[in-house]
Chains A and B, each alone.
Chain A
């Protein structure tokens, strides 16, 4: 084991660490926001919307994330430049970077997997509670955000926490489209120093550390959620 390269590359690992965190935080936030309507329309939505949501979940969950990532980055990335409208728009400087494509791909993935979880969660809320909400005169929207959503989230919180860890473990895939997250920096070190195991072990340790942080934080949040008396 030779670790003399570490001081030289430490700042890059810190940068990579933040990129991983940003990638994870953005895709989890956007993905979970999308997951709520995706789950909801499958339970109460109009038929075509429900089918659309189910088709989205099936196709995202049925294909490897790596293929989705490459499809979005190389596929869309090779089509965009042929549209002058896109090249001249304010979005173009961002669309030339790999990072937004990675965020988009991971967001879709989180939305599909968590959307499936939310579907079950919405279904799992006892009907009586929703009827009670109606009986005290709540409108559909008020019922959703005061009763249905909180009760659904309460039931699946641990599952959603697991989804966050799974997303963290998927983020290294972004390195294959030139996003220099922790894993990407590890790859640079491997190429420049010809050391194989040390950078990989460091990268693995960083991911284990992040996993532990997420698990502990989620357990803390979980304990703060009041559980219904059974």
Chain B
């Protein structure tokens, strides 16, 4: 009993629950995490929309290519994909630059993270949006055609607004996934919340405390996102039957 008490006292001594000057770095890391997540999500939405349209209305070679893309991306662990895309992407870019006579770039940081995660998210978003577009009653698109709208007009004024309520739950899920997947970039050496936390924990030797702080930060990000998602969903589902919340 005495030993336990003693141990817990020395433990309390060795764990000063202060950020020891790492607070700013952690906040900056959180900022980068949010930036990468936002960028990757936006890129994923763009790829997803184009991918869904390509899968539904494109010529068959394009459909095969997209099928290959979404299947492979969804079957391979994100960590492996991130490494592959990062090395392959920087390699490709530098070879292209060299062949045009430019000096190779040292690619790191936010834009590479956005590109890598965006390509991964694009595969998932393609599937979500494809299902959402298919859920829109075809009569609505046909009605648009009957009014003489062009394909682009139908897309902008009928298909997209009508599919949004079906797509939002899936896309909201993707957003939550991408905010957490940014942590994987720490393994490749990107500077974001997870890697800053690892530095802080390693330097101060307060592993338990700093990883808890990071966990709380990610949790806040998720909870705030959830609040915003609920509002968005209520707005875009207006005029529809309320969802049966189980």
A contact set with B: CB distance below 8 Å: 58-59, 61-68, 70-71, 74-79, 82-85, 120, 123-124, 168-173, 175-176, 183, 186, 196-197, 200-201, 203-204, 207-208, 211-212
Contact = CB atoms under 8 A, between A and B. Distances in A.
A45 B214 CA distance: 31
Given A169-B77, A183-B80, A204-B84, A67 B214 contact: yes
A149 B54 CA distance: 42
Given A63-B180, A66-B183, 7 more contacts: A70-B197, A70-B201, A70-B211, A197-B84, A201-B84, A204-B76, A208-B75
A192 B246 CA distance: 53
Contacts of A64: 180-184, 194, 218
A124 B215 contact: no
Contacts of A186: 80
A67 B219 CA distance: 11
A65 B211 CA distance: 12
Contacts of B76: 169, 204, 207-208
A63 B75 contact: no
A124 B11 contact: no
Contacts of B214: 67
Task: Give 9 closest A-B pairs by Cβ, nearest first.
Answer: A75-B208, A62-B222, A71-B211, A64-B183, A74-B207, A64-B180, A169-B77, A62-B219, A66-B183
Interface stretch (B2-10, B110-118, B145-153): B2-10
B87 A79 contact: no
Given A62-B223, A170-B77, A208-B72, A123 B246 contact: yes
Given A63-B180, A78-B205, A207-B77, A68 B215 contact: yes
Interface in B150-188: 176, 180-184, 186-187
Given A67-B214, A78-B207, A85 B3 contact: yes
Contacts of A173: 79, 184
B4 A83 contact: yes
A67 B75 contact: no
A50 B103 CA distance: 60
Contacts of A197: 84, 87-88
A169 B78 contact: yes
Contacts of B186: 66
Contacts, number: 116
Nearest to B182: A64
Contacts of A169: 76-78
A62 B173 CA distance: 11
Q: Which of the listed residues A68, A75, A124, A203 has the most CB atoms from chain B within 10 Å of its own CB? A: A75
B185 to A, nearest CB: 10
Q: Which of the listed residues A68, A171, A204 has the most CB atoms from chain B within 10 Å of its own CB? A: A204
A67 B77 contact: no
B198 A70 contact: yes
B206 to A, nearest CB: 8
16 contacts: A59-B215, A64-B183, A64-B194, A66-B194, A70-B201, A75-B212, A77-B207, A78-B205, A79-B11, A79-B208, A85-B3, A169-B77, A172-B80, A183-B80, A200-B84, A208-B72
